[in-house]
Amino acid sequence: MQPLFRSRRDRLDRLRRQREEAVEAAARREAAAHGGSQTCPGCGAECSNQELVKTEYVCPHCGYHLPIGAYLRLSLLLDPFSFRELWPELTAPNALDFPGYEGKLAAQREKTALSDAAVAAVGKLDGHQGVFAVLDSRFFMGSMGVAVGEKITRAAEYARKHRLPLIIFSASGGARMQEGILSLMQMAKTSAAIERFSKAGGLYISVFTHPTTGGVTASFASLGDITLAEPGALIGFAGPRVIQQTIGQELPQGFQRAEYLEDHGFVDQIVPRGEMRKTLSQLLALHRKGVFHR
Protein backbone atom coordinates (compact mmCIF):
# COMPACT_ATOMS: atom_id res chain seq x y z
CA MET A 1 0.00 0.00 0.00
CA GLN A 2 1.17 3.55 -0.66
CA PRO A 3 2.39 5.35 2.49
CA LEU A 4 -0.06 8.18 1.88
CA PHE A 5 -3.01 5.83 1.71
CA ARG A 6 -1.80 3.95 4.70
CA SER A 7 -1.52 7.06 6.83
CA ARG A 8 -4.98 8.20 5.67
CA ARG A 9 -6.40 4.83 6.48
CA ASP A 10 -4.72 4.83 9.89
CA ARG A 11 -6.17 8.25 10.60
CA LEU A 12 -9.63 7.11 9.63
CA ASP A 13 -9.16 4.04 11.79
CA ARG A 14 -8.33 6.19 14.75
CA LEU A 15 -11.20 8.57 14.21
CA ARG A 16 -13.51 5.61 14.02
CA ARG A 17 -12.08 4.22 17.23
CA GLN A 18 -12.58 7.51 18.99
CA ARG A 19 -16.25 7.48 18.09
CA GLU A 20 -16.78 3.89 19.08
CA GLU A 21 -15.88 4.15 22.66
CA ALA A 22 -18.74 2.37 24.35
CA VAL A 23 -17.75 -0.75 26.27
CA GLU A 24 -19.78 -3.06 24.07
CA ALA A 25 -18.29 -1.82 20.82
CA ALA A 26 -14.69 -2.08 22.01
CA ALA A 27 -15.30 -5.46 23.54
CA ARG A 28 -16.94 -6.74 20.35
CA ARG A 29 -13.87 -5.71 18.37
CA GLU A 30 -11.68 -7.51 20.85
CA ALA A 31 -13.92 -10.57 20.58
CA ALA A 32 -13.83 -10.48 16.80
CA ALA A 33 -10.03 -10.42 16.89
CA HIS A 34 -9.94 -13.64 18.87
CA GLY A 35 -12.76 -15.57 17.21
CA GLY A 36 -15.41 -17.37 19.22
CA SER A 37 -13.54 -18.34 22.36
CA GLN A 38 -10.21 -18.21 24.19
CA THR A 39 -8.33 -20.67 26.34
CA CYS A 40 -7.71 -19.25 29.81
CA PRO A 41 -3.95 -19.26 30.56
CA GLY A 42 -4.84 -19.60 34.25
CA CYS A 43 -6.99 -22.74 34.32
CA GLY A 44 -7.15 -23.92 30.73
CA ALA A 45 -10.90 -23.52 30.52
CA GLU A 46 -12.40 -22.59 27.18
CA CYS A 47 -14.16 -19.21 27.63
CA SER A 48 -16.51 -17.85 25.00
CA ASN A 49 -15.89 -14.25 24.06
CA GLN A 50 -19.53 -13.45 24.76
CA GLU A 51 -18.87 -14.47 28.33
CA LEU A 52 -15.54 -12.62 28.52
CA VAL A 53 -17.09 -9.37 27.31
CA LYS A 54 -19.42 -9.46 30.31
CA THR A 55 -16.60 -10.19 32.80
CA GLU A 56 -14.25 -7.57 31.30
CA TYR A 57 -11.94 -10.38 30.16
CA VAL A 58 -11.55 -11.97 33.57
CA CYS A 59 -11.90 -15.76 33.51
CA PRO A 60 -15.27 -16.65 35.06
CA HIS A 61 -13.82 -19.93 36.34
CA CYS A 62 -10.54 -18.93 38.01
CA GLY A 63 -10.41 -15.12 37.99
CA TYR A 64 -7.38 -14.93 35.68
CA HIS A 65 -7.06 -11.43 34.23
CA LEU A 66 -6.48 -11.73 30.49
CA PRO A 67 -4.41 -8.94 28.94
CA ILE A 68 -6.59 -6.35 27.19
CA GLY A 69 -5.79 -3.66 24.63
CA ALA A 70 -5.32 0.01 25.46
CA TYR A 71 -8.57 1.23 23.87
CA LEU A 72 -10.64 -1.43 25.57
CA ARG A 73 -8.99 -0.51 28.87
CA LEU A 74 -9.86 3.16 28.38
CA SER A 75 -13.43 2.31 27.42
CA LEU A 76 -13.83 0.27 30.60
CA LEU A 77 -12.64 3.20 32.73
CA LEU A 78 -13.82 6.41 31.18
CA ASP A 79 -17.24 8.00 31.06
CA PRO A 80 -18.97 7.63 27.68
CA PHE A 81 -18.06 10.39 25.20
CA SER A 82 -15.53 12.00 27.56
CA PHE A 83 -12.53 10.53 25.75
CA ARG A 84 -10.10 12.63 23.71
CA GLU A 85 -6.94 10.90 22.56
CA LEU A 86 -3.70 12.89 22.83
CA TRP A 87 -0.91 12.73 20.25
CA PRO A 88 -2.35 9.72 18.37
CA GLU A 89 0.13 10.10 15.50
CA LEU A 90 3.27 10.03 17.62
CA THR A 91 5.94 7.61 16.38
CA ALA A 92 9.73 7.36 16.52
CA PRO A 93 12.11 6.80 13.62
CA ASN A 94 14.64 3.98 13.44
CA ALA A 95 17.28 6.26 14.95
CA LEU A 96 19.95 3.57 15.32
CA ASP A 97 19.35 2.20 11.78
CA PHE A 98 18.70 -1.16 13.38
CA PRO A 99 18.47 -3.81 10.65
CA GLY A 100 14.89 -4.82 9.89
CA TYR A 101 13.26 -2.58 12.52
CA GLU A 102 11.09 -0.55 10.11
CA GLY A 103 9.56 -3.73 8.70
CA LYS A 104 8.84 -5.09 12.18
CA LEU A 105 7.24 -1.79 13.22
CA ALA A 106 5.06 -1.78 10.11
CA ALA A 107 3.91 -5.33 10.87
CA GLN A 108 3.04 -4.39 14.46
CA ARG A 109 1.05 -1.39 13.23
CA GLU A 110 -0.76 -3.53 10.70
CA LYS A 111 -1.61 -6.13 13.35
CA THR A 112 -2.79 -3.75 16.08
CA ALA A 113 -3.80 -0.51 14.29
CA LEU A 114 -1.77 1.26 17.00
CA SER A 115 0.94 3.80 16.14
CA ASP A 116 3.14 2.48 18.98
CA ALA A 117 2.70 0.75 22.35
CA ALA A 118 1.24 3.64 24.37
CA VAL A 119 -2.12 5.42 24.11
CA ALA A 120 -2.74 8.64 26.02
CA ALA A 121 -6.03 10.43 26.54
CA VAL A 122 -7.67 13.13 28.53
CA GLY A 123 -11.07 12.15 29.82
CA LYS A 124 -13.40 11.77 32.77
CA LEU A 125 -13.67 8.86 35.14
CA ASP A 126 -16.91 9.01 37.10
CA GLY A 127 -16.89 12.75 36.50
CA HIS A 128 -13.27 13.24 37.53
CA GLN A 129 -11.16 14.81 34.81
CA GLY A 130 -7.73 13.21 34.37
CA VAL A 131 -4.91 12.30 32.04
CA PHE A 132 -4.75 8.58 31.28
CA ALA A 133 -1.96 6.64 29.62
CA VAL A 134 -2.12 2.93 28.86
CA LEU A 135 0.56 0.60 27.53
CA ASP A 136 -0.63 -2.07 25.11
CA SER A 137 1.21 -5.37 25.39
CA ARG A 138 0.08 -6.45 21.92
CA PHE A 139 2.45 -3.92 20.32
CA PHE A 140 6.05 -5.17 20.67
CA MET A 141 5.16 -6.51 24.13
CA GLY A 142 4.49 -2.98 25.31
CA SER A 143 8.21 -2.26 25.22
CA MET A 144 9.39 1.30 25.81
CA GLY A 145 11.20 3.01 22.98
CA VAL A 146 11.34 6.71 22.20
CA ALA A 147 7.65 6.92 21.18
CA VAL A 148 6.41 5.36 24.45
CA GLY A 149 8.84 7.44 26.52
CA GLU A 150 7.76 10.60 24.74
CA LYS A 151 4.06 9.90 25.19
CA ILE A 152 4.40 9.18 28.92
CA THR A 153 6.56 12.31 29.31
CA ARG A 154 4.05 14.46 27.44
CA ALA A 155 1.21 13.00 29.49
CA ALA A 156 3.00 14.02 32.69
CA GLU A 157 3.79 17.47 31.30
CA TYR A 158 0.20 17.92 30.11
CA ALA A 159 -1.15 16.88 33.50
CA ARG A 160 1.21 19.33 35.20
CA LYS A 161 0.24 22.19 32.91
CA HIS A 162 -3.50 21.60 33.27
CA ARG A 163 -3.28 20.58 36.93
CA LEU A 164 -4.92 17.21 36.35
CA PRO A 165 -4.31 13.86 38.02
CA LEU A 166 -2.28 11.33 36.05
CA ILE A 167 -3.20 7.65 35.82
CA ILE A 168 -0.91 5.21 34.00
CA PHE A 169 -1.59 1.54 33.31
CA SER A 170 1.65 -0.32 32.63
CA ALA A 171 2.15 -3.55 30.69
CA SER A 172 5.61 -3.92 29.28
CA GLY A 173 8.38 -6.36 28.49
CA GLY A 174 10.87 -3.57 29.25
CA ALA A 175 13.09 -1.60 26.91
CA ARG A 176 12.62 -1.65 23.13
CA MET A 177 15.85 -3.45 22.21
CA GLN A 178 15.92 -2.12 18.64
CA GLU A 179 16.17 1.45 19.94
CA GLY A 180 19.14 0.56 22.12
CA ILE A 181 20.56 3.29 24.33
CA LEU A 182 17.82 5.74 23.34
CA SER A 183 15.28 3.38 24.82
CA LEU A 184 17.34 3.26 28.04
CA MET A 185 17.33 7.07 28.14
CA GLN A 186 13.52 7.05 28.17
CA MET A 187 13.73 5.71 31.72
CA ALA A 188 15.48 8.92 32.81
CA LYS A 189 13.22 11.11 30.67
CA THR A 190 9.93 9.68 31.99
CA SER A 191 11.15 9.56 35.60
CA ALA A 192 12.22 13.19 35.38
CA ALA A 193 8.80 14.20 34.04
CA ILE A 194 7.00 12.31 36.83
CA GLU A 195 9.29 13.93 39.41
CA ARG A 196 8.49 17.42 38.09
CA PHE A 197 4.80 16.65 38.10
CA SER A 198 5.07 15.33 41.63
CA LYS A 199 6.95 18.40 42.86
CA ALA A 200 4.16 20.54 41.41
CA GLY A 201 1.74 18.70 43.70
CA GLY A 202 0.15 16.44 41.10
CA LEU A 203 -1.43 13.09 41.94
CA TYR A 204 -0.04 10.11 40.02
CA ILE A 205 -1.70 6.71 40.28
CA SER A 206 0.33 3.86 38.77
CA VAL A 207 -1.39 0.57 37.94
CA PHE A 208 0.70 -2.52 37.17
CA THR A 209 -0.95 -5.00 34.81
CA HIS A 210 0.34 -8.32 33.51
CA PRO A 211 3.22 -8.37 32.71
CA THR A 212 5.37 -5.33 33.63
CA THR A 213 9.12 -5.82 33.75
CA GLY A 214 12.45 -4.16 32.98
CA GLY A 215 12.81 -0.50 32.18
CA VAL A 216 9.16 0.36 32.78
CA THR A 217 9.21 -1.18 36.27
CA ALA A 218 12.51 0.62 36.91
CA SER A 219 11.11 4.02 35.93
CA PHE A 220 7.69 5.69 35.81
CA ALA A 221 5.64 2.63 36.85
CA SER A 222 7.36 2.51 40.25
CA LEU A 223 6.99 6.22 41.02
CA GLY A 224 3.27 6.46 41.81
CA ASP A 225 1.88 8.30 44.82
CA ILE A 226 -0.54 5.38 44.83
CA THR A 227 0.47 2.04 43.35
CA LEU A 228 -2.15 -0.53 42.35
CA ALA A 229 -1.88 -3.87 40.57
CA GLU A 230 -4.23 -6.30 38.89
CA PRO A 231 -4.43 -9.74 40.55
CA GLY A 232 -1.75 -12.17 39.44
CA ALA A 233 0.18 -9.61 37.38
CA LEU A 234 3.86 -10.44 36.86
CA ILE A 235 5.86 -7.44 38.06
CA GLY A 236 9.64 -7.26 38.25
CA PHE A 237 12.87 -5.65 37.16
CA ALA A 238 14.63 -8.73 35.81
CA GLY A 239 12.54 -11.28 33.95
CA PRO A 240 11.98 -14.69 35.60
CA ARG A 241 14.04 -16.48 32.93
CA VAL A 242 17.08 -14.25 33.49
CA ILE A 243 16.85 -14.70 37.26
CA GLN A 244 16.56 -18.46 36.93
CA GLN A 245 19.63 -18.55 34.69
CA THR A 246 21.57 -16.32 37.09
CA ILE A 247 20.85 -18.16 40.32
CA GLY A 248 20.50 -21.64 38.79
CA GLN A 249 17.53 -22.72 40.86
CA GLU A 250 13.76 -22.91 40.58
CA LEU A 251 11.87 -19.74 41.45
CA PRO A 252 9.46 -19.95 44.39
CA GLN A 253 5.73 -20.24 43.74
CA GLY A 254 4.11 -16.83 43.25
CA PHE A 255 7.47 -15.03 42.88
CA GLN A 256 7.14 -11.58 41.22
CA ARG A 257 3.35 -11.77 41.19
CA ALA A 258 1.25 -8.80 42.32
CA GLU A 259 0.49 -10.55 45.62
CA TYR A 260 4.24 -11.07 46.24
CA LEU A 261 4.89 -7.37 45.65
CA GLU A 262 2.06 -6.46 48.00
CA ASP A 263 3.61 -8.71 50.68
CA HIS A 264 6.97 -7.01 50.17
CA GLY A 265 5.60 -3.51 50.41
CA PHE A 266 5.71 -2.31 46.81
CA VAL A 267 1.98 -2.16 46.05
CA ASP A 268 -0.72 -0.33 48.02
CA GLN A 269 -3.54 -2.59 46.92
CA ILE A 270 -4.41 -5.29 44.44
CA VAL A 271 -7.57 -4.33 42.64
CA PRO A 272 -9.59 -6.74 40.47
CA ARG A 273 -10.50 -5.36 37.06
CA GLY A 274 -14.19 -5.18 37.92
CA GLU A 275 -13.46 -2.86 40.85
CA MET A 276 -10.81 -0.70 39.20
CA ARG A 277 -13.14 2.09 38.09
CA LYS A 278 -14.73 2.36 41.52
CA THR A 279 -11.34 2.36 43.26
CA LEU A 280 -9.89 5.03 40.98
CA SER A 281 -13.01 7.14 41.45
CA GLN A 282 -12.59 6.91 45.22
CA LEU A 283 -8.91 7.86 45.01
CA LEU A 284 -9.56 10.79 42.67
CA ALA A 285 -12.28 12.07 44.99
CA LEU A 286 -9.97 11.71 48.02
CA HIS A 287 -7.38 13.86 46.28
CA ARG A 288 -9.74 16.48 44.92
CA LYS A 289 -8.41 19.84 45.90
CA GLY A 290 -10.73 21.47 48.43
CA VAL A 291 -10.63 24.40 50.80
CA PHE A 292 -8.10 22.70 53.05
CA HIS A 293 -5.63 22.00 50.28
CA ARG A 294 -2.41 23.95 50.87
Partner 1 sequence: MSKLTAAQRVKLARTPGRPGTLDFVQHLFTDVFVCKGDRLGREDPSIFGAVARFHGRPVTVLGHRKGRTFEENMKCNFGMPSPDGYRKAQRLMRQAEKFGRPIITFIDTPGAYPGLEAEAGGQGEAIASCLALMSGLTVPVIAVVIGEGGSGGALALAVGNRVIMLENAVYSVLSPEGFASILWKDAGRAEEAAGVMKLTAADLLKLGVADQVIPEPEEGAHTDPEVVYAAVDRAIVRHLSQLEKERDLAAQRYQKFRAMGAVREETEA
Is residue 220 close enough to count as binding partner 1 by CB under 8 A? yes
* Cβ atoms within 10 Å, residue 152: 28
> Going residue by residue from 225 to 244, which x/- string records binding to partner 1, judged by CB under 8 A?
----------xxxx---xx-
- Report the alpha-carbon distance of residue 214 to residue 130 in Å, rounded: 27
Residues 254-283 that bind partner 1 (CB under 8 A): 255-256, 260, 264-266
> Going residue by residue from 184 to 203, which x/- string records binding to partner 1, judged by CB under 8 A?
xxxxxx-xxxxxx-xx----
- What is the maximum alpha-carbon separation in the chain? 58
Q: Which stretch binds partner 1 (CB under 8 A): 55-63, 148-156, 158-166, 278-286?
A: 148-156
For residue 62, what is the DSSP state? T
Is residue 209 close enough to count as binding partner 1 by CB under 8 A? no
* Cβ atoms within 10 Å, residue 110: 11
Alpha-carbon distance values, 184 to 61, 108, 180 (Å) = 40, 21, 7
What are the strands of the beta sheet with 128-135, ordered from one edge? 84-86, 118-125, 128-135, 166-172, 204-212, 226-229, 269-270
> Going residue by residue from 59 to 88, which x/- string records binding to Zn ion, judged by CB under 5 A?
x-xx-x------------------------
Please pick, from the candidates 42, 231, 239, 272, the single residue that binds Zn ion as defined by CB under 5 A. 42
- Report the alpha-carbon distance of residue 77 to residue 219 in Å, rounded: 24
E strands in 136-257: 166-172, 204-212, 226-229
Alpha-carbon distance values, 133 to 11, 170, 243, 263 (Å) = 20, 8, 29, 27
Is residue 40 close enough to count as binding Zn ion by CB under 5 A? yes
Cβ-based nearer residue to Zn ion, 51 or 268: 51
- Interacting partner of 43 out of Zn ion, partner 1, none (Cβ under 5 to 8 A depending on kind): Zn ion
Is residue 57 close enough to count as binding Zn ion by CB under 5 A? no
Residues that bind partner 1 (CB under 8 A): 7-8, 11, 87, 89-93, 95-96, 98-99, 145-147, 149-150, 153, 175, 177-189, 191-196, 198-199, 214-215, 217-223, 235-238, 242-243, 246-247, 251-252, 255-256, 260, 264-266
